[in-house]
Structure 1
Amino acid sequence: MTDTRVVHPALKTRATELFGVDHPVVQTGMGNVSDARLTAATANAGGLGILAAGLLSYDELVTAIDEIQAATDKPFGVNVRANQPDVHKRIDLMISAGVKVASFALAPKQDLIAKCKDAGLVVMPSIGAVRHAEKVASWGADAVIVQGGEGGGHTGQVPTSLLLPQVTDAVDLVVIGAGGFFDGRGLVSALAYGADGIAMGTRFMLTSDSPVAQEVKDVYLSKSVNDTVLTTQVDGIPQRVLRVGPIAQIEKTRPAARVLRAASNARRFQKISGARWRDMVGEGLAMRKHEDLTWSQVVMAANAPMLYRTALIDGNADAGVMATGQVVGMIDDLPSCDELVSRIVREATDVLERFGA
């Protein structure tokens, strides 16, 4: 149901030019959610779909990229963790496969950015503070996703309405706003702050193209903007999740019990994923070094993959953890990606034309 009306010229931005897409709308790389199907559906809708590769093995990443390219000829991105032991191998794969955008949840080091750029990849880290944007800009990044405190998953305290103009004033990069966006009005507001587009996680998760179980989607659709909590008790790093399932219990649990449970979940994740213990320990050491975590926080970080998988993949909302932005309370339907992107562009065009009139 692609809209045939003329898109407002203001919606052709530096982001659409840099990514080679029709609309300045990005689907973020959400672990357990942003699979090949969702990524391809977003790309075919004219936005930038990003495959979440952080929890995929290398062979699974190969298969996912093949599936995306079989489903679309449009540009897309892949989100990888800069601290993964085989990150250079993954970047080599992305280069050889012709992936357009390398997206990073953790800021990559300067040499990794240089490797990507030398091969023609667009480099786009996610950041949550002005100083982080300034750092990756000085290292040569092409774009940044700027997530404010309203956003889901790992996030900070500064709201998007303040963080976004701070960043656009500080750096000359393509800036994509994230945290609290779900419609065309939000897209126009981001452009007004100086951004070049918006990124959405929760909104794309709640589409018919998302792999999340229907019963879990129904839980999300029933929640209000007040039904989220910013907690450090999942993996030691602040993240926004729904106040359901084990969250209340986790926050009441003694620290020693949380660490024991995290160690148990690490064993479960290792068996399911096939990851080598050596690699998991290496990632933990990298997290401790680069994110200034305590040892207990490093162990707790093993919680996240299993707790998210339990809810999103297994469909058990009562036992798993459900990351979300506060925007969850503004969402009441499950459109396809094409319907969603078309609607956002139509709404943004209406707002811009009204301003012009």
Structure 2
Amino acid sequence: MTRPAGDGPTTQPSGPVPSALQTRACELFGVRYPIVQTGMGYVSDARLTAATANAGGLGILSAGLLSYEELATAIDAVRARTDRPFGVNLRADQPDVERRIDLLISAGVRVASFALAPRQHLIGKCKDAGLVVVPSIGARRHAEKVAAWGVDAVIVQGGEGGGHTGGVPTSLLLPQVVDAVDIPVIGAGGFFDGRGLVAALAYGAAGIAMGTRFLLTTDSPVAPAVKEVYLSKTVNDTVLTREVDGVPQRVLRAGTIDKIEKTSGTRRLIRAAGNAVAFRKLSGSRWSEMVREGLAMKKGHELTWSQVVMAANAPMLYRAALLEGRTDLGIMATGQVVGLIDDLPSCQELIDRIVAEAAEVLRRLGA
């Protein structure tokens, strides 16, 4: 049985924030706590981003599936809900990425987050305007590359994380990256409580980033019925698959994923082509823009043409489940940590609880 926000006692931080929790990430992002809510398509909207910011963490608005006009509206909506720093997650391979960066600069956004490593000149453009640049990476060599290009911090996601992910677990990847670069490192993949925050700090990280845990809050726009599907799952109810868009991503073992994995390659490509048509109509994108974006994906990520076509699957399948509530048709990205989550707090309750738990662990270890 899940516990919604406000049902039963909650744990809140007492007294000043322990010095161990006042990390380089707090100063860099301008936040109270070293806790990041990751940018998740169809999930990290203005409400969730602002709620995280108001609770003392870094909220990140997802822009990868928004048009330029929708992004401008969403930034205004975050601004209307909070006066605290927040970030925007961009896709470096979008044709209008430089225009989007200009929008972030003019809107006074604090952090430019990138799902994949941006090109060096984009990093320079952001930093010249005072944006904090934070790409997400899944391998040490990628962290070393973007650190040499001048990024301010990196989010390091281990293999147990949700969505597109690698094969190295956080417990191995995180210390590897911490030892390789001298910028703040944020750990992601498998975090959901104060114990995990302290563990990440012990590895040398400057904080933690969470996706699934923030998805499962009352501030998340995901439909209650979809959240209940997530809450019913165990740590063994996820699958790492290439069959959605051609590259590995971790999703719930639910909905249509079993059918997709059993479908022949030809039928998957036909479905993907249909989804490309539907996504073009939904997003208002021109075919020329989609072709340019596909070429950038192919070149930047060394994809085959079949993988590029399959990439049209993900937005439509995520939309079906997360926005339309069709858990029977869509797919739902998740980390394995989903099996350890059993309630739906608000962002304020969640962050307060994590900080209080972390403080208690630190006290216990100190004793």
Query: Any residues of structure 2 matched to 1:182-193 within 5 Å, and which?
Result: 182-193=192-203
Count of paired positions: 357
Aligned AA for 2:56?
G
Post-superposition Cα deviations, 1:151-180, rounded to whole Å, max 9, x if no partner, equal 000000000000000000000011000000
- Counterpart in the other structure of 2:121: 111
Residues 1:288 and 2:271 aligned together: no
Q: Which residue of 2 aligns with 1:123?
A: 133
Which of 251, 255, 259 in structure 2 is aligned with 1:249?
A: 259
Instruction: Provide the rounded CA distance (Å) in 2 between the counterparts of 1:228 and 1:138.
Output: 35
Q: Determine the structure 2 residue equivalent to 1:335.
A: 345
What secondary structure sits across from 2:337 in the alignment?
helix
Other structure's SS at 2:344 match: coil
Quote the residue 1:180 is aligned against: 190
1:6 matched to 2:6? The reply is: no
Residue type of the partner of 2:166? Answer: G
1:25 corresponds in structure 2 to 35
Unpaired runs of 5+ residues, structure 2, are 1-9
Matched residue, 1:96: 106
Deviations 1:12-53 (A, max 9, x none): 000001000000000000000000000000000000000000
Gaps of 5+ in 1: none
The alpha-carbon deviation at position 4 of structure 1 amounts to 4.2
| Other-structure match for 1:140 | 150
Instruction: Please give the per-residue CA displacement for 1:123-148, whole angstroms capped at 9, x wherever unaligned.
Output: 00000000000000000000000000
Counterpart amino acid of residue 181 in structure 1 = F
Mapped partners of 1:16, 1:328: distance in 2: 26
1:208 is aligned to 218
Cα distance in 2 for partners of 1:209, 1:244 equals 23
* Aligned match of 1:156: 166
AA at the equivalent of 1:211: P
CA displacement at 1:5 relative to structure 2 = 2.2
Matched residue, 1:62? 72
1:223 match: secondary structure: coil
1:228 aligned to which of 225, 238, 246: 238
1:326 partner letter: Q
- Does residue 197 of the first structure (1) align with residue 207 of the second (2)? yes
Note if 1:85 corresponds to 2:95. yes
1:263-285 CA-to-partner distances (Å, cap 9, x unmatched) read: 00111111111112111111111
Match of 2:7 in 1: none
Checking the alignment, whether the CA contact within 8 Å between 2:136 and 2:156 is kept in structure 1 is yes
User: Partner of 2:319 in structure 1?
Assistant: 309
Aligned to 1:238: 248
Code of the aligned partner of 2:34:
P
Q: Deviations over 1:180-201 (max 9, x none)?
A: 0000000000000000000000
- 2:280 aligns with one of 249, 267, 270: 270
Please give the alpha-carbon distance, in whole angstroms, between the structure 1 residues aligned to 2:335 and 2:96: 30
Compute the TM-score of the two structures, normalised by the length of structure 2: 0.96
Q: Secondary structure at the match of 2:151?
A: coil
State how far apart, in whole Å, the 1-side matches of 2:209 and 2:308 are: 28
Q: Per-residue deviation at 1:97?
A: 0.5
1:345 alignment partner, SS class? helix
**CA shift for structure 1 position 3:** 3.3
Q: How does 1:342-357 map to 2 (within 5 A)?
A: 342-357=352-367
Q: TM-score, normalised by structure 1?
A: 0.99
